[in-house]
Amino acid sequence: MSFEVRPAGSPPDAPLKLRLTFGEMPVEMAVPFASYDGSLSSSWLQEETLYVDVLPGKVSLPRRYSFRYVKLEVLDTSPKYRVSFFNLKCMTVTSADRANVIPFDHVDPLLRDIDRISVRTLEDCTQDVFEDGPKRDRRLWLGDLRLQALANYATFRNDALVKRCLYLFAGVSDERGRVSANLFIAPELIADDTYLFDYSLFFTVTLYDYYEATGERDTLQELWPTARRQVELALEQLDDSGIVRDEETWWSFIDWHESLNKQAPSHAVLIYALKRAIRLAEAVECDSIGELERCLADARRTALDLLWDAKQGFFVSGEGRQVSWAAQIWMALAEVLPSEENRTLMRRLLSTKPDIAPTTPYMYHHLAEALLVVGLKDEAVDLVKQYWGGMLKNGADTFWELYDPGNPDFSPYGSPLINSYCHAWSCTPTYLIRRYGL
């Protein structure tokens, strides 16, 4: 961003002290950043204090910002002069090419708007990698990458960028072969020291989706060892009963609900990934197909034997046998139950509404796709229109990192000021609408 500053009145006899505040949402204009007391660093809040010694002058801000609103506050000049601002310019940056977006129209104006905003969200998160958000964290996260790649195949078809991101993750796996949950891109490629059970498995899933979308065998052959290793490492996390071991630490993401037990949904993610690993193994003619099939059969059997509560009609999780939306959603996506029972499970979920509900667009995406997988298309359409349409009604021109219709100020970080209001994992309605013909 750059602008010109010109004095008015007497010759300037003191520097101009100026504060600029950038915001994606009005709350960032209205609430003083000094009041922020969240768990993430306040350095993510977009604010600059500048001194302009010579007037008139041109101010060029070297940092990157993500904003719809900017507030300029003159903190001090001198009693002898005032200032005016001219020629304010912004350079918008993305590596996405809108000319490549597959043309799309829809008879439903709301779904048409939701698709358009989804594409814009993906566009703004497409830089030299698929970032999670232009405001925060500006990193390559595996969970976001998987969803961005799906949306990309339906829109921009920037498949080379998906390929680049997969190679970046594989290139900095640790000494055990673990893929990090996220990567820092600058000043050099660095793997974060965060490893998440579900995100590591999503490397395998994202490679499967890439191969399905492109048919590119060379990439599959080169990255298959990394994909297979993530499954092997996940299988090491099974306890003596054959269920994914539950832990007190932040070991698996799934969703941001603070009370969510991760065991059952993580076990379902393992089943989901195993099914795709088997298809990749078949494509590369790997000799481990039989072993993977045995592991899949065992994982599915233990899920039904130990996690399925026939009396409640739900999968349960952890020592407290928690019933959560996330567990049912992932078990449905993994198709652990026969198809008709899977559909009944999702109908029961919608009618019963367990207390441990989705809190992010990330989990709402999986809910919508689970409904589509089991054949509940009308319910999926209603969900997309209500949830993402709700963001539109609340002023979104890109989709958000967090949106809880019952708690608009929800933030897992302690303040909505730090939330990202253009976030990768929220871009998937374009995939759902186009892929499933909503």
304-342 tens-digit pLDDT: 999 999 999 999 999 999 999 999 999 999 999 999 999
Per-residue pLDDT tens for 51-105?
A: 999 999 999 999 999 999 999 999 999 999 999 999 999 999 999 999 999 889 9
Residue type, 66: S
pLDDT at 198: 99
Residue with tokens 């209205």: 30
CB atoms within 10 A of CB 418: 22
Cβ–Cβ under 8 Å, residues 297 and 242: no
Over residues 368-397, mean pLDDT: 98
Residue 406 has pLDDT above 90, yes or no: no
Q: Do 62 and 12 belong together in one domain?
A: yes
Instruction: Answer yes or no: do 176 and 264 share one domain.
Output: yes
Residue 328 sits in a domain whose CATH number is 1.50.10.10
Q: Let me know whether 143 and 74 are in one domain.
A: no
Average pLDDT over residues 158-171: 99
Same domain, 106 and 60: no
Judge if 80 and 116 occupy the same domain. Answer: no
Q: Residue 39 is part of which domain span?
A: 2-89
Task: Average the pLDDT over 393-419 and give the result.
Answer: 94
Q: Tell whether 13 and 111 lie within a shared domain.
A: no
How confident is the model over 257-279, as pLDDT tens digits? 999 999 999 999 999 999 999 99
Same domain, 225 and 321: yes
Within 10 A of 407 (CB to CB), how many other CB atoms are there? 10
- Amino acid 308 reads W
What are the pLDDT digits (tens) for 27-44?
Answer: 999 999 999 999 999 999
On whether both 117 and 16 belong to a single domain, the answer is no
pLDDT digit string (tens) for 135-147?
999 999 999 999 9
Instruction: Please give the pLDDT value at position 347.
Output: 99
pTM for the full model? 0.96
Percent helix, percent strand, percent coil in the chain, to nearest 5: 45, 15, 40
pLDDT at 407 over 90: no
Question: Which residue type occupies 65?
Answer: Y
Q: Which helix (H) or strand (E) holds 227?
A: helix 217-235
| Total structural domains within the chain | 2
Span 176-223, pLDDT tens digits:
999 999 999 999 999 999 999 999 999 999 999 999 999 999 999 999
Are 151 and 57 members of one domain?
no
Considering the domain architecture, whether residues 83 and 116 belong to the same structural domain is answered as no
Report the alpha-carbon distance of residue 221 to residue 56 in Å, rounded.
60
For residues 294 and 147, membership in a common domain is answered with yes
Residues 412-429: pLDDT tens digits? 999 999 999 999 999 999
Model confidence at 16, pLDDT cuts 50, 70, 90, reads: very high
Asked whether the predicted pLDDT for residue 408 surpasses 90, the reply is: no
**Residue 102 contacts residue 435 (beta carbons within 8 Å):** no
CB 419 within 8 A of CB 400: yes
pLDDT of residue 248: 87
| CA distance linking residue 339 with residue 362, whole number of Å | 24
